[in-house]
Chains A and B, each alone.
Chain A
Amino acid sequence: MFEPAVGSAVEAAIPLLLTGWIEYILENPDQFAVMLREHLQMVVIGVTAAIAVAVPAGIAATRHPTVGSAVMNMGAIAQTVPPLGVIALTFAFLGVGPRPAILALFLYGLLPILKNTVAGIQNVESAQVEAGRGMGMTSLQRLWRIELPLALPVIIAGIRTTIVLSVGIAYLGAFIGAGGLGQWIILGQQRYANEILLAGAIPGAILVILLDQAFGWLGARIGPTESSADDRTQTTVA
């Protein structure tokens, strides 16, 4: 299908090798739309569930530090299990379809949000919490009006990590019949068709870069706090 790149022709061949994918998407717009919707559905449901569990759990962990650090250590070990392993495991227990994929996304997404919620709340200066106490705020009011707003940029950084990770894991969902953009990767691989592979790969890569930038922008807009448990030395990818 493609001329092999030889010697000085390599440079000329690079654009040639990466062509055809836009045409393929334009020829199959309905299928593309369905896959994109399936992909985003997995991400939105998985991430929403992870936020709903991990933020309250993170708050609880700051109230009970011993239990909290035990949970975090276990989570850190669990996170060394590769995403493909997690998605294969959820498939082994729940079978084919989007449900096991969403469960895998949810499980994998918990730790970054949990960790950043804890770090964000712990980073709030005690003087600010004390000021709230001096004003007669209850501990719930201090949490709601002081600690959470100040921790928000850090929590959003955790959600950002989880979203980036989830778009990647949702790709792997195609292997267990959950749909999503990974389907074209599988199809392209089966047919040795680069344009189908790229039609599946490039939109996802663009999507994840845009989401990452958007959340980076959002985090920077929301508060003055720059520090994040993730930004400096944390790394995750699916």
Chain B
Amino acid sequence: MVSLVETVEWMGANSDVLVRQSIQHLSIALTALVIGIVLWVPTGVLVRNNERVSQVLLGASGIVLTIPSLALLPLLIPFFGIGEAPAIVALVLYSALPIMRNTVVGIAETDGAMKEAGRGLGLTDRQLLVRVQLPMAYPVIMAGIRQATVLLIAITTVAAYFGAGGLGRSIFAGIRLANADQIIGATIVLSALAIVLDYGLATTVRLLPNSEVIDT
């Protein structure tokens, strides 16, 4: 049966594999996250005032998000082959809804009085966006980025089945070999990655003046 001592022993004996797979895992998930942020935050900013376009985009990315990862990844294989490329494409698609939606909602919810104050100071629309609305929307946008991060770490695990690296390899190997220590050890490392990243990103909000971490 399962014993925590044996799991810890297994983790110690295989620490080099776990470290290597953690690095692979983070490199895939964080590459996709950075691409996702660069792509979806500006998209959210661009469509913020266009109700129709933002509804269509958010609706489409909502549908993408409902598709199981084990179903979406095979759909990309004919186009991108196996390995890291289709995994990153899928992850970027999955990150669209949380990041874009929170950008749109965060900007829309900026306090009206603050905007008026900015206008009164003679700020242009662009200045208002960069100096008032985006800083105020930051906690909401970051909440979306945190959700995307936890999501991408999870989906990267499944992507290991289609030739991408990462901790999913240890989990699939553990299932194949019915090795409980391997499964538990890899899952502990995996969950630790997600929790640490989530907490770290929340800290970037906590450090700002007058900002509250938004947990959803």
For the side of the interface on B, what is the size category? 35 or more
* The residue from A80, A188, A198, A208 contacting B67, defined by CB atoms under 8 A apart: A208
**A76 pairs with B215, CB closer than 8 A:** yes
Tell whether A82 pairs with B68 under 8 Å between CB atoms, given A17-B78, A205-B75, A232-B105. no
* 10 A-B residue pairs with CB within 8 Å: A2-B78, A77-B195, A85-B157, A88-B171, A89-B183, A89-B184, A93-B2, A168-B67, A233-B214, A237-B151
Instruction: Say yes or no for B63: interface residue by CB 8 A criterion.
Output: yes
Tell whether A237 pairs with B65 under 8 Å between CB atoms, given A80-B195, A198-B75. yes
Instruction: Say yes or no for B187: interface residue by CB 8 A criterion.
Output: yes
* The residue from A176, A208, A233 contacting B144, defined by CB atoms under 8 A apart: A233
Q: In the complex, what distance in Å separates the CA atom of A172 from the CA atom of B68?
A: 9
Q: In the complex, what distance in Å separates the CA atom of A181 from the CA atom of B70?
A: 10
Q: Give chain B's interface residues, CB within 8 Å of chain A.
A: 2, 63, 65-72, 74-75, 77-79, 94, 97-98, 101-102, 105, 140, 143-144, 147-148, 150-151, 153-155, 157-158, 161-162, 168, 171-172, 174-175, 180, 183-184, 186-187, 190-191, 194-195, 198, 214-216
List, in ascending order, chain B residues with CB within 8 A of A53's CB.
Answer: none
**A84 pairs with B154, CB closer than 8 A:** yes
Tell whether A81 pairs with B74 under 8 Å between CB atoms, given A167-B68, A208-B67, A233-B214. no
Residue of A nearest to B102 (CB): A233
Shortest beta-carbon distance from B41 to chain A in Å:
15
Instruction: Say yes or no for A234: interface residue by CB 8 A criterion.
Output: yes
* The residue from B140, B155, B191, B194 contacting A237, defined by CB atoms under 8 A apart: B155
Tell whether A197 pairs with B74 under 8 Å between CB atoms, given A76-B215, A84-B158, A84-B171. yes
Determine which residue in B66, B97, B150, B198 has the highest number of CB atoms from chain A within 10 A of its CB, and name it: B66
Q: In the complex, what distance in Å separates the CA atom of A237 from the CA atom of B71?
A: 12
Give per-residue flags for A170-195: 1 if the beta carbon is below 8 A from chain B beta carbons, else 0: 01100110000110010011000010
A contacts with B, residue count (CB < 8 A): 52
* The residue from A5, A208, A234 contacting B216, defined by CB atoms under 8 A apart: A234
Q: In the complex, what distance in Å separates the CA atom of A210 from the CA atom of B4?
A: 42
* The residue from A91, A93, A175, A208 contacting B68, defined by CB atoms under 8 A apart: A208
> Helix, strand, loop or mixed for chain A's interface?
helix
Shortest beta-carbon distance from B139 to chain A in Å:
11
Q: In the complex, what distance in Å separates the CA atom of A202 from the CA atom of B105?
A: 32
Shortest beta-carbon distance from B161 to chain A in Å:
7
Instruction: Say yes or no for A103: interface residue by CB 8 A criterion.
Output: no
Determine which residue in A188, A229, A237 has the highest number of CB atoms from chain B within 10 A of its CB, and name it: A237
**A82 pairs with B157, CB closer than 8 A:** yes
Instruction: Say yes or no for A92: interface residue by CB 8 A criterion.
Output: yes
Instruction: Say yes or no for A67: interface residue by CB 8 A criterion.
Output: no
List, in ascending order, chain B residues with CB within 8 A of A202's CB.
Answer: 71, 75
Shortest beta-carbon distance from A20 to chain B in Å:
10
Instruction: Say yes or no for A33: interface residue by CB 8 A criterion.
Output: no
* The residue from A79, A83, A189, A201 contacting B161, defined by CB atoms under 8 A apart: A189
**A175 pairs with B172, CB closer than 8 A:** yes
